[in-house]
Amino acid sequence: MKKFYTFLIIFVGASIGGSLRYLIGLLFTVSSGFPWGTLFVNLTGAFLLPLLIHYLHDKFHLKANTVLSLTTGLLGAYTTFSTFTADSYKLFQNGNYVMLSIYLLATMVGGFLCAIAGNYLAANLATREYLSRKKES
């Protein structure tokens, strides 16, 4: 029964994450052929994942199922490797090699930098809270 409950929690998070990704894709639709929506969700997801894991989890003492719902469910469905590869292939197939290079670089290097920024923010927020609590006591 516990595994089924975990499945449901992840299912709910994934439903929200997939819907958000679709909505953002609609908002970022442009005629240039550059996949701005996919880039946006992947970069914001790369930033939010470490922030959720390292800060919000510790600050609010989230249960394991809540963390799974937010990370594996919501952010797992929100970000998209399959669309990233399909978009990359489409740029390649259309001979847009400059845009393909920019997209690959922006996604991979940008995602890594966003993850570093999310980790940095999480550590910074946690340190501030720790020092604030220490000062109060």
pLDDT at res. 29: 79
Q: Determine whether the annotation assigns residue 72 to a binding site.
A: no
From its phi and psi, is residue 30 left (phi > 0), alpha (psi between -120 and 50) or beta?
beta
Q: Alpha-carbon distance 55 to 48, whole Å?
A: 10
Domain count, the chain: 1
In whole angstroms, give the CA distance from residue 131 to residue 18: 38
- Containing 5, the helix (H) or strand (E) segment is helix 2-27
pTM above 0.75? yes
Per residue in 97-115, pLDDT (tens digit) is: 999 999 999 999 999 999 9
**Torsion sign (Cα): 21, 27, 31, 34:** negative
- Domain carrying residue 130: 2-136
Instruction: Give the pLDDT confidence score for residue 2 in this predicted structure.
Output: 85
* 44 belongs to an annotated ligand binding site: no
Q: What is the pLDDT of residue 55?
A: 86
Question: How much of the chain is helix, strand and coil, in % rounded to 5?
Answer: 85, 0, 15
Residue-wise pLDDT for 20-32, tens only, equals: 999 998 998 777 8
C-alpha pair distances (Å), 91 with each of 3, 9, 64, 102:
41, 36, 39, 11
